Structure 1
Amino acid sequence: MKAIRRFTVRPVLPDPLGDLAELARNLRWSWHPRTRDLFRSVDPGLWEASGCDPVRLLGGVPAARLAELSRDEAFLRRLGEAADELREYVTGERWYQQQAQGYAHLPRAVAYFSPEFGITAALPQYSGGLGILAGDHLKAASDLGAPLIGVGLLYRHGYFRQSLSCDAWQQEHYPVLDPNELPLTLLREADGTPALVALALPGGRALRAHVWQAQVGRVPLLLLDSDVEENDRGERDVTDRLYGGGSEHRLLQEMLLGIGGVRAVRTYCRLTGHPEPEVFHTNEGHAGFLGLERIHELTGADAGFDTALEAVRAGTVFTTHTPVPAGIDRFDRELVARHFGPGAELPRLDVGDILRLGMETYPGGEANLFNMAVMGLRLGSRANGVSTLHGAVSREMFAGLWPGFDPEEVPITSVTNGVHAPTWVAPEVQALGARDLAGVDAGDLWELRRTLRGQLVDEVRRRLYASWRQRGAATAELGWIDDVLDPDVLTVGFARRVPSYKRLTLMLRDRDRLMELLLHPERPVQIVVAGKAHPADDGGKRLIQELVRFTDDPRVRHRIVFLPDYGMAMAQKLYPGCDVWLNNPLRPLEACGTSGMKAALNGGLNLSVLDGWWDEWFEPDFGWAIPTADGAATDDDRRDDLEAAALYDLLERRVAPRFYDRGPDGLPDRWIEMVRRTLTRLGPKVLADRMVREYVEELYAPAARAHRALDVTAAGELAAWKARVRAAWPRVAVDHVEASATGTTAELGATLALRVRVHLGELTPDDVEVQAVTGRVDPEDHITGATPVPLKPVGGPDQEGRRVYEGPLALDRTGSFGYTVRILPAHRLLADGAELGLVAVPSEATGEAAGLLMR
């Protein structure tokens, strides 16, 4: 029989064990080995059976065992030490507090919004890299003492659990998650009733949500849950699953995340006394509606829309994670319009103002689509990509929002992602890292790598057996699994989501050659593959099926495996156990790609296309770069053939020989040296601590300064100034440009005196900056590596209202050198000169604009 109602009976812990509940509810246990060891000692068998989840563990420990532990002096001493250490961790001074002593501009709090968070397998609220990155961001912020508040949604089915059918087709399963069985606490009002946030829906309906809190070390994570009795059935299902449903379902999720998330933060701060955030960080466009809610808050205080927009922009940071327009959420404008304005949400805002923030009103855009990333960029004064290359790709992709500016001047910077070492580094590597890695004996390093490889082999066999049983195999036919993989064979890992651009099956382009690599008599290679396709992506599922059918071949199934249900628990075994981490996306479609970073922190070497972070930090000491065939004349099939051949060549001629070539002592000395250099030189670069410090110093602190400078009065002044500049800009022009030297050549070290005549219309010199822009020029006279040089006004306007600007131009480089002149709006409260997307440049008839030849 099926139960008609489900509830959780919580254990009653004896008083001496009360601290166990506090330790279980703070997710720091997920990256703190001593706390995990403490829980393991409660009941080792039950710990493994619970999936290493303290909440489930304590829910299943027999009362007799709890009574026994309450009298165990050694256990109670360890428990007391762990509890004291946690309290010191969450209250003591850390990096951020030390910085704040000298920098009053650091924000008192930052709200960090993301549609998914990968904190631990015990809280399955993630699908892939975006969520894992968000989880690592919170954990690193906690370690550094940065005052973040995380905001997301609580999905009752999470993403999905993956298995394979007998014919290797991906199957999705959506187990129900009970929040009471998760490491969560319901946020309650002072009278004990659950706190509620509510959104107005068309037709007088409402979308209500509870707020659950996960404690991630020092950082609270607020998760909104629409599965509450006050909602109708449709509204209860808004947070049913991650990235599920159609357009309206997704729109409601994103409204709840952004608008409801701000309201949840306000409620949390009111109830707990936590400082209100000064900076709001939107991790990808899904949470972009948070800016509209904050504008709506200010319009309630008698500020107009434009004034509120300036005040909100000042303290908003937007991070984009996608390098392709298809990866951005876009909604039909009529759908968005129906959910806002009178009778729906944010009634004080004009629907037209809302739509203008997200409409693709630039060359190449679609006039009827509301673009969440475009809204994020228009609502954020600071924006970034997640690697240096991705920053450049983003500037190209969104250049239409800043017409008249070259892509390199588009105000999108980059902060390269990092990963949280305590989460992803194997305990054995952590123990070794406590010593000076540069001095660790080569034999110890090699033995460590073999130990980790052996652990992976055991894990693969266990998971493969379970997978084949799910596919319908009988126990009697699975004896071969005992011989799958070999702890002494070069092991390559490949695990990620399965969109087409990540090219799961590139390794299958020449199956005969792959078989030769797998079955080489002296230098064999073995490969472990994992990954999930989106439930609606049949193309991705076909790629998985194609790969699994190859791995089912009895000739190679002991050398190549596919493991279903890729997630954090699997990944924490997979990264340390692989000698080489493979990544072969279509360049430049990998925004960052942090899986290779996690492998590197465990001494794994990367074998990757130069994309994402690998393009930035690749060195031959850390691995190998797969050459790309991205010429304009290469079709897709030809490109994949060429890049697959390059991959086979690298494995056969460089990777495998280096792994198997042994010195006099029987060790692969050159391989071990690459492992050592990866750990000592690459490891520090890929840390999430480094990433969060960069966010604090380069984005959060400037945003906090701007937020404080732009109170409602200052924001109103800035909004009025922008309106005046936009209205006057059509009459701004460069009238004439001349230099003190003429001709096409000049000597290195000389100085040109520039004299520029401009029309400013109704604007004054205080409203603009006139610049000379210099740099090398290509054959089409396009300036590269541009450097702006401010020019100064000389005297007042002439009878026709023209003004003269002058300045020196140093000729400090040889070769083709050029300059041009431009006029930009200028105001002390602008985050960037390109912010308004306004620029005036010379016409071709104006005067000398480029083309000096230096010698």
Structure 2
Amino acid sequence: MKAIRRFTVRPVLPDTLRPLSDLARNLRWSWHEPTRELFRSVDPDGWKAAESDPVRLLGSVTAARLTELAADEDFLAALAAAADDLDRYLREPRWYQAQHSERLPAAVAYFSPEFGVTAALPQYSGGLGILAGDHLKAASDLGVPLTGVGLLYRHGYFRQSLSRDGWQQEHYPVLDPGELPVTLLREHDGSPARVTLALPGGRRLHAHIWVAQVGRVPLLMLDSDVEENGPAERDVTDRLYGGGSEHRLLQEMLLGIGGVRAVRAYARLTDGPEPEVFHTNEGHAGFLGLERIRELMGSGLDFDGSLESVRAGTVFTTHTPVPAGIDRFDRELVARHFGEDGELPGVDVTRVLALGRETYPGGDQGVFNMAVMGLRLAQRANGVSTLHGAVSREMFSGLWPGFDAQEAPITSITNGVHAPTWVAPELAALCGRATDVPDRELWDLRRTLREQLVGDVRERLRASWRQRGAGSAELGWIDSVLDPDVLTIGFARRVPSYKRLTLMLRDKPRLTSLLLDPERPVQIVVAGKAHPADDGGKRLVQELVRFADDPKVRHRIVFLPDYGMGMARRLYPGCDVWLNNPLRPLEACGTSGMKAALNGGLNLSVLDGWWDEWFEPDFGWAIPTADGAAALDEERRDDLEAHALYELVEKRVAPRFYDRGADGVPSRWTEMVRRTLTDLGPKVLADRMVREYVERLYAPAAEAARALVPGAARELAAWKAEVRAAWPQVTVDHVEFGEDLGEAELGATLLVRVRVALGTLRPDDVEVQAVAGRVDPDDTLTGARVSVLKPTGTPDLEGRRLYEGPLVLDRTGPFGCTVRALPSHPLLPTPTDLGLTALPSEAKGEGAGVLMR
């Protein structure tokens, strides 16, 4: 029989054990090993059965065991120490408080569609969510006053298993909030706090707010499974990235609009500070800007003034290097939900639609682009690695039509990973002394971690085969799967086609020979989930699984289903080499390789994402990529890059691993491990990443938001309207240089003069620049340097003004220069903000620039 109602019966802890509940409800335990050890000691078998989840553990521990613990003085002392440590962690000033800077925001709201904080709170699908979880944890460790905002999905993403023939199967277990480390936010009268959105046809979407405490950081998660909702509305937060287009639109409206309302409710109910900065992690939460515009319009500002104020305090991070990865909705669908019958009454729906319109060449005028809206609603934007920043500037350059792609106002902050979460406790015990650890000790530690992975793999593989229908009698071979003394390569990630899960299978005989080499064998552990709607990705999984099922090689290569944080905590430390072979440059960052590096794993990767930025031969190997014509032929490209991968493993990776000294230790390998830990490790930390966000984006955004008080916002909006209307009359001509360019020499200074017609604009409204640098064979400027020219004198008879300034010839070789006029205002974050520029007119014979050689 099935139960008709599900509810949770909580244990009653003795008074002396009450701190256990507080420790379990603060997710700091997920990265604080002493607290985890305390819970493990409550019931070691129960801890394993609860999959290292303290809330589940406390729900299953027997009354007799609780009574025993309540009388155990050693346990009570350890419990008191853990509780005191958490209290100090939550109260004491940390890095942020030590800055003593008025520039810093009082609070930041961080919105993301998914958060991977711990396996005990399965609200993530892949790298975006894990990154968001690491961002919260690092912010907590640093004392950054940040509030996370997301959705609580009652089925999470999905649990993955395999059919007998290796096809991915999805399962959606129901997640009961009563069994999760979350607390319902309540009003002062004890009733649940909730937010409400208006939907077409007079419907309403209600949501409760659950709070997960991530150290010092609250994570607010909205849940539409509320009795007052109709069936369709209750299912809005059913699955992460599930449902059709309207379902996804409602999820993103609830995340953005409902999320802002949840932040306001939380600040009101906890007497906390209101956020000065709103950080949109990818475009899914972009509607938060519209809700903030509605708030400001309700206090008297018009739409344009509200838009300027909202933009000033908004940061947008894009994680998507391909247009196909961006959420886009039919414009009519969006219009229906934001019309007078829907959400945000009083906000002109045509203005809403304009924010998401793809106005650049090649754009689809029939869609509403969430990333484009995110960029238009934020003064500050960034990609997640240096290379991804460049890719993003190119991809979105059409939003700033007057400028070259490299000038698009999108910077980059390279992702990082949270070391206390991902570093094996055994390695963490080195405590920064990796430079002094003897090779023997370091090598033995790496073998211990490899051995732990082998045990974990065998256990998971046996469980997977039982799910596939195998009986115990068929599974004796699993006891010999993998070898703790064999070079171990890991590959684990989501399975879209561009990540090329099956590149290693391009030449199966060649791979087989590597796996079975009698002197230098290799073993590979693979994991990954394909999106439920991606049959192409599922076919890749099946191809890999079928190869790994072959009795000839199954002891050397395994596929583990249901990749998640629990598996990853063993996988990263246990692998010697981390493999990554995406299509370059389609990997925004690729933080899995960072987690491996923190554990002394060496990276074997295409130069994409973070590896393109920080690769050194001491840290691993770069897989060559096929460029030019070969890159256009997908089959040939994959063959060439797979061959390069095999060559690296056979000729360089494996020999270094197996090249042992008289003591049995591969000294050159351990030196690479040591350099990875000491030199690369500090770069890939989430602490470094969050400090960069604070210093480079959050603090400037807070300052800009404070400067744009209603009067200033209204003035800036009016100024922009004036400049846009007058800009067609701005012209640049009569460019002059002070000497013969044919004799230009290094170090010379030229006087640049240019006449500019401003139309109805004032000199302060415009900045005139000389832009100079090297030129390529097409006369395109590279590495350009900008010099500001100053106005002199009064307008001539035709109303043009003279601008002039020095230009230093600071490099030899082909050199070029052009001049341009840009809008200028003290409150503009960058000169490119309006996307307007005026260049010399070729029609007047002046040319677009001057070339010097």
TM-score, normalised by the number of residues in structure 1: 0.99
Question: Aligned pair count?
Answer: 851
User: Following the alignment from structure 2 to structure 1, what is the Cα–Cα distance between the partners of residues 772 and 476?
Assistant: 71
1:637 and 2:640 matched: no
User: Following the alignment from structure 1 to structure 2, what is the Cα–Cα distance between the partners of residues 317 and 487?
Assistant: 46
8 Å contact kept, 1:778–1:784:
yes
User: Following the alignment from structure 1 to structure 2, what is the Cα–Cα distance between the partners of residues 89 and 796?
Assistant: 64
List alignment gaps of at least 5 residues for structure 1: none
How far is the alpha carbon of 1:679 from its aligned partner? 0.1
Opposite residue 175 of structure 2, the aligned amino acid is L
**Aligned twin of 1:614:** 611
**Cα deviation digits, residues 488-537 of structure 1 (max 9, x gap):** 00000000000000000000000000000000000000000000000000
**Aligned twin of 1:39:** 39
User: Following the alignment from structure 1 to structure 2, what is the Cα–Cα distance between the partners of residues 233 and 849?
Assistant: 62
**Aligned twin of 2:549:** 552
Match of 2:128, SS state, is helix
**Aligned twin of 1:575:** 572
**Aligned twin of 2:799:** 801
**Aligned twin of 1:734:** 732
**Aligned twin of 2:530:** 533
User: Following the alignment from structure 1 to structure 2, what is the Cα–Cα distance between the partners of residues 444 and 577?
Assistant: 16
1:694-709, aligned counterparts within 5 Å?
Answer: 694-709=692-707
8 Å contact kept, 1:771–1:821:
yes
Opposite residue 702 of structure 2, the aligned amino acid is A
1:266 aligned to which of 264, 267, 271 = 264
**Aligned twin of 2:228:** 230
8 Å contact kept, 2:124–2:240:
yes
8 Å contact kept, 2:819–2:849:
no
1:650-729, aligned counterparts within 5 Å?
Answer: 650-729=648-727
Opposite residue 45 of structure 2, the aligned amino acid is G
1:186 and 2:179 matched: no
Match of 1:726, SS state, is helix
How far is the alpha carbon of 1:744 from its aligned partner? 3.2
List alignment gaps of at least 5 residues for structure 2: none
Match of 2:814, SS state, is strand
User: Following the alignment from structure 1 to structure 2, what is the Cα–Cα distance between the partners of residues 153 and 512?
Assistant: 47
Opposite residue 162 of structure 1, the aligned amino acid is Q
Opposite residue 712 of structure 2, the aligned amino acid is A
8 Å contact kept, 1:492–1:525:
yes
**Aligned twin of 2:200:** 202
Match of 1:212, SS state, is strand
1:440-839, aligned counterparts within 5 Å?
Answer: 440-634=437-631, 635-839=633-837
8 Å contact kept, 2:818–2:850:
no
8 Å contact kept, 2:630–2:637:
no
**Cα deviation digits, residues 593-642 of structure 1 (max 9, x gap):** 00000000000000000000000000000000000003135400000000
8 Å contact kept, 1:737–1:849:
no
2:360 aligned to which of 351, 359, 362 = 362
1:141-290, aligned counterparts within 5 Å?
Answer: 141-290=139-288
How far is the alpha carbon of 1:267 from its aligned partner? 0.2
Match of 1:791, SS state, is strand
How far is the alpha carbon of 1:747 from its aligned partner? 1.1
8 Å contact kept, 2:823–2:836:
yes
**Aligned twin of 1:322:** 320
User: Following the alignment from structure 2 to structure 1, what is the Cα–Cα distance between the partners of residues 422 and 278?
Assistant: 28
Match of 1:678, SS state, is helix
User: Following the alignment from structure 1 to structure 2, what is the Cα–Cα distance between the partners of residues 262 and 10?
Assistant: 32
How far is the alpha carbon of 1:849 from its aligned partner? 4.5
**Aligned twin of 2:69:** 69
How far is the alpha carbon of 1:10 from its aligned partner? 0.6
**Please, what is the CA RMSD of the aligned residues?**
0.8
User: Following the alignment from structure 2 to structure 1, what is the Cα–Cα distance between the partners of residues 61 and 755?
Assistant: 83
User: Following the alignment from structure 1 to structure 2, what is the Cα–Cα distance between the partners of residues 747 and 698?
Assistant: 38
Q: Percent identity?
A: 78
8 Å contact kept, 2:779–2:851:
no
**Aligned twin of 2:852:** 853
How far is the alpha carbon of 1:123 from its aligned partner? 0.2
Distance of aligned partners of 1:598 and 1:299 in 2 relative to their CA distance in 1, 3 Å threshold = same
User: Following the alignment from structure 1 to structure 2, what is the Cα–Cα distance between the partners of residues 125 and 194?
Assistant: 22
8 Å contact kept, 1:210–1:228:
yes
**Aligned twin of 2:85:** 85
How far is the alpha carbon of 1:743 from its aligned partner? 4.2
User: Following the alignment from structure 1 to structure 2, what is the Cα–Cα distance between the partners of residues 822 and 91?
Assistant: 53
TM-score, normalised by the number of residues in structure 2: 0.99
8 Å contact kept, 2:25–2:181:
yes
Match of 2:435, SS state, is helix
User: Following the alignment from structure 1 to structure 2, what is the Cα–Cα distance between the partners of residues 610 and 161?
Assistant: 32
User: Following the alignment from structure 1 to structure 2, what is the Cα–Cα distance between the partners of residues 849 and 464?
Assistant: 65
User: Following the alignment from structure 2 to structure 1, what is the Cα–Cα distance between the partners of residues 601 and 432?
Assistant: 19
User: Following the alignment from structure 1 to structure 2, what is the Cα–Cα distance between the partners of residues 813 and 850?
Assistant: 18
8 Å contact kept, 2:742–2:852:
yes
User: Following the alignment from structure 1 to structure 2, what is the Cα–Cα distance between the partners of residues 623 and 209?
Assistant: 48
Opposite residue 817 of structure 1, the aligned amino acid is F
User: Following the alignment from structure 1 to structure 2, what is the Cα–Cα distance between the partners of residues 435 and 628?
Assistant: 35
User: Following the alignment from structure 1 to structure 2, what is the Cα–Cα distance between the partners of residues 119 and 588?
Assistant: 28
Bigger drift between 661-670 and 143-152 goes to: 661-670
**Cα deviation digits, residues 651-677 of structure 1 (max 9, x gap):** 000000000011122210100000000
8 Å contact kept, 1:744–1:851:
no
Match of 1:437, SS state, is coil
How far is the alpha carbon of 1:435 from its aligned partner? 5.1
**Aligned twin of 2:375:** 377
1:417 and 2:415 matched: yes
**Cα deviation digits, residues 671-702 of structure 1 (max 9, x gap):** 00000000000000000000000000000000
1:125-136, aligned counterparts within 5 Å?
Answer: 125-136=123-134
**Cα deviation digits, residues 131-179 of structure 1 (max 9, x gap):** 0000000000000000000000000000000000001000000000000
How far is the alpha carbon of 1:852 from its aligned partner? 3.7
**Aligned twin of 1:17:** 17
How far is the alpha carbon of 1:798 from its aligned partner? 1.4
User: Following the alignment from structure 2 to structure 1, what is the Cα–Cα distance between the partners of residues 58 and 677?
Assistant: 37
8 Å contact kept, 1:738–1:848:
no
8 Å contact kept, 2:116–2:122:
yes
Match of 2:482, SS state, is coil
8 Å contact kept, 1:607–1:623:
yes
User: Following the alignment from structure 2 to structure 1, what is the Cα–Cα distance between the partners of residues 236 and 220?
Assistant: 17
User: Following the alignment from structure 2 to structure 1, what is the Cα–Cα distance between the partners of residues 645 and 168?
Assistant: 27
8 Å contact kept, 1:50–1:57:
yes
How far is the alpha carbon of 1:797 from its aligned partner? 1.0
How far is the alpha carbon of 1:471 from its aligned partner? 0.6
